[in-house]
């Protein structure tokens, strides 16, 4: 079975960063949008100065943020990816891409017309994250969508020659069910937390079950 990439998102403390840094995850995510997991530019800058960047690719998550604010937040920060997690239109992504050096991932929230939505970003993004939106919460809810739809998203992403990540409600207990669909990457936040903190033990369980699947 193909090797899916792993991203641990929503890190918001030195403890979380330590857990994520010691994991096999290739990507570590930080939320710059309004959220209980929000971090400041200064926090991320400090963690980067302490050697975080040497180990992982860094993803910064924004939700419907004015482009000039993204530029202001990321100036002189050595991060790799901007994840647009709201309902940013294609024209917004096109403008952002012309102004920043980072790769851009677009989150697509699972719904009836999600595949058509993906097509509007063709040629503009470097990857997709398929997630589940619950009410006014854009992510990090611990709720998953029906994974039987995953192959359709992967097919569309690969038609566009970009990877497709799956997020939402993934945890050590169900990850093997998701891996059957062979996503390019999996993206976890609340599924590896205990009491709002990243858990060494849950990450260990996750990696063990991915290993059991022959994927990590």
State the distance between the two ends of the chain, measured CA to CA, in whole angstroms: 10
Tens digit of each residue's pLDDT (9 = 90 or more) over 156-172: 999 999 999 999 999 99
Q: What is the DSSP letter of 192?
A: G
pLDDT at 214: 60
Q: What is the DSSP letter of 190?
A: G
Asked whether the beta carbons of 184 and 166 are under 8 A apart, the reply is: no
Q: Count the neighbouring beta carbons within 10 Å of the beta carbon of residue 113.
A: 7
Asked whether the beta carbons of 38 and 30 are under 8 A apart, the reply is: no
Q: What percentage of the chain exceeds 70 in pLDDT?
A: 92
Mean pLDDT along residues 24-45: 95
Residue 193: strand pairing partners: 198
pLDDT at 213: 66
Asked whether the beta carbons of 130 and 123 are under 8 A apart, the reply is: no
Q: Count the neighbouring beta carbons within 10 Å of the beta carbon of residue 141.
A: 16
Asked whether the beta carbons of 178 and 148 are under 8 A apart, the reply is: no
Q: How far lies 37's CA from each of 13, 139, 207, 212, in Å? A: 9, 11, 23, 30
pLDDT at 215: 52
The answer, yes or no, to whether residue 138 has pLDDT greater than 70, is no
pLDDT at 121: 99
Tell me, which fold does domain 5-212 have in CATH?
TIM Barrel (3.20.20)
pLDDT at 82: 99
Tens digit of each residue's pLDDT (9 = 90 or more) over 139-157: 555 678 999 999 999 999 9
Query: What is the Cα–Cα distance from 205 to 144, expressed in whole angstroms?
Result: 19
Q: Does 55 or 76 have the greater pLDDT score?
A: 76
User: How long, in residues, is the chain?
Assistant: 216
């Amino acid at each position: 079975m193909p090797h899916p990439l792993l991203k641990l998102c929503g890190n918001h403390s030195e403890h979380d960063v330590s857990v994520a840094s010691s994991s096999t995850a290739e990507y570590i995510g930080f939320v710059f949008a309004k959220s209980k997991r929000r971090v400041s530019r200064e926090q991320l800058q400090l963690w980067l100065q302490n050697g975080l960047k040497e180990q992982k690719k860094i993803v910064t998550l924004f939700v419907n943020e004015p482009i000039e604010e993204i530029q202001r937040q990321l100036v002189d920060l050595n991060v790799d990816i901007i994840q647009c997690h709201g309902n940013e239109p294609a024209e917004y992504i096109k403008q952002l891409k012309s102004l920043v050096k980072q790769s851009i991932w677009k989150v697509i929230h699972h719904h009836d017309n999600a595949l058509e939505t993906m097509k509007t970003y063709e040629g503009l993004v470097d990857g997709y994250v398929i997630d589940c939106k619950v009410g006014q919460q854009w992510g990090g809810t611990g709720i998953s969508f029906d994974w039987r739809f995953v192959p359709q998203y992967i097919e569309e992403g690969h038609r566009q020659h970009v990877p497709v990540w799956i997020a939402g409600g993934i945890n050590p207990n169900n990850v093997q069910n998701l891996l059957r669909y062979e996503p390019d990457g999996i993206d976890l936040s609340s599924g590896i937390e205990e009491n709002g903190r990243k858990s060494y033990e849950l990450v260990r369980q996750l990696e063990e079950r991915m290993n059991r699947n022959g994927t990590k």
